[in-house]
Structure 1
Amino acid sequence: MKTKLNIITAVVLIFLINFYYRSFTFYYSTIDWDELTYFIMGKSILDGFLPYRDYWDLKPLGIYLVHAFTLLFFDYSILTMRVSAYVFSSILAVILFISNYRKRFKESLLISFVFLYSFVYYSSGLASNTEIYFLLFEAISFYLLFVNEKVNVTQKSIAFFVLGIAFIIKYIIVFDVILFFLAALVFSFIDERIKKSGSVFEVFKKIFYEYALYVFVFLSPILITITVYLHLGSFDSYWNSILAVGKNHVRISTIYEKLEFIFYLKYFYLFSFFFVGYHFYTTKRFKLERGAAVAFVWFLTSSLGAAWTGFLYEHYLLAVLFPILLFISFVVFDFDKTFGKRIVIRAILLLCIVGVFIFSIRKRNHIAKTLNSIPDEGLFMADAIRKITKEQVSGQGYFFVASGSHAPYVILDQLPPVKYIQPNNYLEKTFAVNFAISGEKVISDIIKKKVNIVTWCNSKSIHEILTQKKGESEFSQEFVLALQTYLRNYRFESVQIQRDVRCTLYYKRG
């Protein structure tokens, strides 16, 4: 009874604390542009469109399906997108708590709060990024494979199936997948040898057939996806999207840049190595339990995945936070062996809890103040589109986001008039070149759709971009030139948005 009450208490506290951390973001339209893209792609699926054929983005299908599933039950709004991230991150913290609860209640709750605080500290963790979603499925898989003391074939099958779901949310976790398979395989072999269930050959044969099943179960989500695309006659669209990301979506970064990026988590590394060193010193045994050993290697493989593509975005580091905190907790919560039962140690633990809350409140309030001081570009542009549609445009306003936040697509419940949802894909030279996106084709599509409103939010105007030297510009001048020609030939008028001087709205009268 006490155990159930403790778990219920912990779950309630985790959801309340995470609500406090995230509540100020619930209606803000733009924290990270990627999250908007995933959400819009989810909406397109429910509207009967096929990802990669009708609408395109460079992420795997899984993240779009997660949002499509959410939209089956909730409305298409910024709030739904934020609540989705809130729920998934809260459940993730609950799994972290349960993974450690077998040893300590207060300590397990503390590590979950530290985890939620780290999502605030690395502020892109407040967005609905893929890391929150695939981490949840990875965490479930880890728990079933390496935390449960007795794991049967059914549990392992579930573990590898949810790992397969994590994989179709983001392919870069392939290094984690290899680790989970190898670790589970080695532990299975050791357990069978301990039970003396047969010769080495017989044990190997038994495990081979068992893990052939797990490989099939792991691959089933992607096999189902392939089957659907083959049935719809669009497998080429799906396969080419995978090849495009694998072959083209890379950025040249030096080893030093990647290491510098990874060591942005320096405090987590510092504490982990300190606790491990102290643990070995006090226990006099240089051996980790299975869960701790796998968690340690997991944070190494997730670090490798975070830096692999060379695009060193902060939210990639979120994937490293869960395994490293899991590792720290597994080692530190061997509490009596490592620290003993001295009162001074308990006092230090209490100070740590107080310290986490003080720093988290300060950080949360600082980010809230900062966010509120930044113009909500997506909301302003949506308001401007409503106003210009009512006053200057006859009929329904059909708009195209040429530059800036594509949040208006969500706020005004419209899908983009072009195949490419995120403006960066056709505006930024890196993306346009990597994915061979034709700016002229993009403009051709908006002409066919009879767009009558175009939004532009950028620190540089269209004219300024076109006057830059071609080799020095970070923008696709081919797209910008095609856009300028289109706006001129179709006689668009312009109005500057007073609430954000970087934003201009172009419209056709009548």
Structure 2
Amino acid sequence: MAKKLNTTVLKKFRSFSLKILDWKRVLFILVVVSVFIRFPFFFRDYIDRDESTFILMGQSWVNGYLPYIQLWDLKPPITFLYFATIIKLFGKSFFAIRLFGSFMVALTALFTYGIATKITSKKVAFWAAIFCVFFQSLFGSLQGVMSEHICTLFFVAALFILFLKEEGKWFFTAGLLLGLSVMTKLNMAYPVLCLGLYFFWEGLHKKQIWTNIKYLIFMGIGFLTTVLLTLLPYYLQGESDIWWKSIVEAPLAYSEGKFHSPWKTLPYVGTIAILLGSGYYFKLIDRKSKQIRLLIVVVVGILLSYIQAGKVNGHYLIQLYPFVLIPLAMAVAKLPFITEKYRPLIIALLILIPMESYLEYANIISNKVQKASFYNGEGIDVPRYILEHELETKNIFFTEYHIGYWVLGVNPPTKAATHPSNITREELFPYMDNPRKTGIEELKYIMDVVRPKVLVAREGKKIFDKKLVEYNTYIDAYLKKHYELTATVGRGLIYQRL
């Protein structure tokens, strides 16, 4: 009798838990989890140097300069539009930039949930979405707002539409979103191309080629509409050439850089291939499912883009997580049922996953006690020191913590110095219309002609990549001869020109 009662209660509980997994409640849960994990990082000066560069580019746009005109970075303009919009609406607010980044992560996870519900149960879809938040927010420099966060949201929204609808207007809408994704991060052109080839192949296979070609035309029109809209403001200002060089030609030149090689991507590409291949081999993933094939096609496209770039940073993987987590969650769900005695261990592991967040909560509380501010990091403390001690701000060179330009309201010394490492990427100079031809020439121009009154570096770290011996030899000797170390703020070194 007791056993029967327990079974009845368990069935009712499971039925209730499935009913509450409608999209509104799921979105609420995902927002709460995303904000909780990412909240303590709202107050950090910078989490990844790329995010700092995006902020500078966004501020320049707010100031009236289109991307690539005053400052320059190797990303399409929609990346900078996100930051420009937040800055225009909320001013110079780390909090607003990171808060809306958290909402973006939650929305990406929601679309992941929506896609997964078309293939598997709501329970499996829910956990795939939860882990989508985890993997887009933890383990490295993912707590900031990266271009990968933005482009992945647009792509997963487009794929959700393609899962649900088969009408021309919806393919057009998906094309608009795919265009936004590519105009945020150019490598997403590879999965877009793979999707197009897949729909063409499917049309041949199912003998509905003209129907699929019609859909592809609608999708292509939507895609081109987005791309041309990003070109329009440049065309109106007579700057179409710099749009083309910065968005198309520069990324191709970057992929041929001296530190890039397809072989470096093999650990990542191989791991994903083994995981998905094992799922197929052991029949944990349904190889006959059209939806699964679509996910795999997207994954293959993204992996091909990594191979072409010859480089995989940790934040690049943000693009993969939604599309990989769904089939992996389905595979795990088919494994033998986890007995009750292991559930406390699983719950404990789930609680421990956001350990980075717990440590950062402790960090901001400590900073509040010591410095009377939740906002922390040398990118904030160094500019504060400079202002308090009335040091030069208009002619300053941040070789590290370059978010300091934004805090102080000034620009980098040259266009090539927008992101400090771009000084050494001389293969990009022709595409940013830089008058200097080599990185050393650019560095000498900054030090000998611009002559920064203040230079900021980082303690215990070479100013340039340790492989770039010529650059470091030059700057070290120059600092020793022409500058003195005025102060050390945290790990920030403040040099003043003699």
Query: What TM-score, normalized to structure 1?
Result: 0.78
Aligned to 2:455: 454
Sort the Cα spacing of 1:235 and 1:327 in 2 relative to 1 into closer, same or farther, 3 A: same
Q: Assess, with a 3 A threshold, how the Cα gap between structure 1 residues 289 and 353 changes in structure 2: closer, same or farther.
A: farther
Maintained 8 Å contact 1:115/1:325: yes
Using the alignment, how far apart are the partners of 1:370 and 1:269 within structure 2?
38
Aligned with 2:405 (options 406, 409, 423)? 409
1:41-56 pair list within 5 angstroms: 41-56=57-72
Q: Which residue of 2 aligns with 1:497?
A: 488
> Where do 1:259-298 residues align within 5 Å?
259-263=266-270, 266=271, 272-279=276-283, 287-298=287-298
1:358 aligns with 351
Gaps of 5+ in 2: 1-15, 368-375, 430-436
CA distance in 1, matches of 2:174, 2:298: 16
Identity %: 17
Query: Deviation string for 1:383-409 (max 9, x for gaps)?
Result: 2211222xx56xxx3242341111112
1:238 and 1:480 map into 2 onto residues whose CA distance is 36
User: Per-residue CA shift, 1:164-184, capped at 9, x if unaligned?
Assistant: 110011111222011121223
Counterparts of 1:371 and 1:278, CA distance in 2: 47
The Cα shift of 1:411 comes to 2.4
Q: Secondary structure at the match of 1:300?
A: helix
Does residue 233 in structure 1 map to residue 242 in structure 2?
no
1:288 shift after superposition: 2.7
* Residues 454, 496 of structure 2: 8 Å contact kept: yes
In 2, the alpha carbon distance for the partners of 1:167 and 1:361 equals 31
1:275 CA drift (Å): 4.4
RMSD (CA atoms): 3.7
Aligned to 1:379: 380
Match of 2:127?
A: 110
Q: Secondary structure at 1:123's aligned position in 2?
A: coil
* Partner Cα separation in structure 2 for residue 497 and residue 300 of structure 1: 47
Residues 30 and 130 in structure 2, CA contact (< 8 A), matched pair in contact too: yes
Equivalent residue for 2:91, pick from 75, 78, 85: 75
Contact kept, 8 Å, 2:38 with 2:102, in 1: the verdict is yes
CA distance, structure 2, for counterparts of residue 349 and residue 67 of structure 1 = 44
* 1:300-320 Cα deviation digits (max 9, x unpaired): 221222343223321112222
Moved more, 109-118 or 434-443: 434-443
Moved more, 417-426 or 247-256: 247-256
How many Å separate the matches in 1 of 2:284 and 2:421? 49
**1:345 offset after TM fit, Å?**
5.2
Cα drift, residue 108 of structure 1:
1.9
Q: List per-residue Cα deviations over 1:425-454 (Å, max 9, x = no partner).
A: 12xx3x245534555557757999896433
Partners of 2:308 and 2:174 lie apart in 1 by 25
Partner of 2:265: 258
Q: Indicate conservation of the 8 Å contact 2:40/2:360, yes or no.
A: no
Change in 2 beyond 3 A, CA 1:254/1:211? closer
Please state how far the C-alpha of 1:135 moved relative to its aligned partner. Answer: 0.5
Alignment of 1:103-182 (within 5 A): 103-145=120-162, 147-148=163-164, 150-182=165-197
SS of the residue aligned with 1:107? helix
In the superposition, relative to structure 1, how do residues 233 and 306 fare at CA in structure 2: closer, same or farther (>3 Å)?
Answer: same
1:268-322 deviation line (CA, Å, top 9, x unaligned): 76664554444459xxxx6331111111232222122234322332111222222
Structure 1: gaps spanning 5 or more residues: 194-202
Residue identity in the other structure for 2:243: Y
Q: Does the C-alpha gap of structure 1 residues 361 and 63 become closer, same or farther in structure 2, counting only changes over 3 Å?
A: closer
Letter in 2 for 1:246: L
Task: State the alpha-carbon separation in 1 of the partners of residues 488 and 451 from structure 2.
Answer: 23
Distance in 2 separating the partners of 1:254 and 1:448: 36
Instruction: Output the CA distance in 1 between the equivalents of 2:304 and 2:412.
Output: 35
Tell me the matched-pair count. Answer: 462
| Letter paired with 1:138 | F
Structure 1 partner of 2:228: 223
Report what 1:200 is aligned to.
none
**Structure-2 separation of matches of 1:302 and 1:368:** 34
Aligned partners of 1:62, 1:247: CA distance in 2, in Å? 21
AA matched with 1:19: V
Are the equivalent residues in 2 in contact too, given 1:418–1:446 (CA < 8 A)?
no
- Answer whether contact 1:497 1:503 (CA < 8 A) is retained: yes
Q: Distance in 2 between matches of 1:461 and 1:327?
A: 43
14-23 vs 223-232, greater mean Cα deviation: 223-232
Assess if the C-alpha contact under 8 Å between 2:382 and 2:489 holds in 1: no
Alpha carbons of structure 1 residues 353 and 257: separation in structure 2 relative to 1, 3 Å: same
Aligned counterpart, 1:199: none
Q: Identify if the C-alpha distance between structure 1 residues 131 and 371 changes in structure 2 by more than 3 Å, giving closer, same or farther.
A: farther
- Per-residue CA shift, 1:49-77, capped at 9, x if unaligned? 12222211111222111221222322222
Within a 5 Å distance, the mapping from 1:194-213 to structure 2 comes to: 204-205=209-210, 207-213=212-218
Q: Answer whether contact 1:26 1:79 (CA < 8 A) is retained.
A: yes
- Name the CA distance, whole Å, in 2 between partners of 1:288 and 1:351: 36
- Classify the secondary structure of the residue corresponding to 1:8: helix
Q: Is the CA contact (8 Å cut-off) linking 1:399 and 1:455 kept in structure 2?
A: no
Q: Distance in 1 between matches of 2:175 and 2:462?
A: 50
Instruction: Using the TM superposition, give the Cα deviation of residue 474 of structure 1 relative to its aligned residue in structure 2, in angstroms.
Output: 6.1
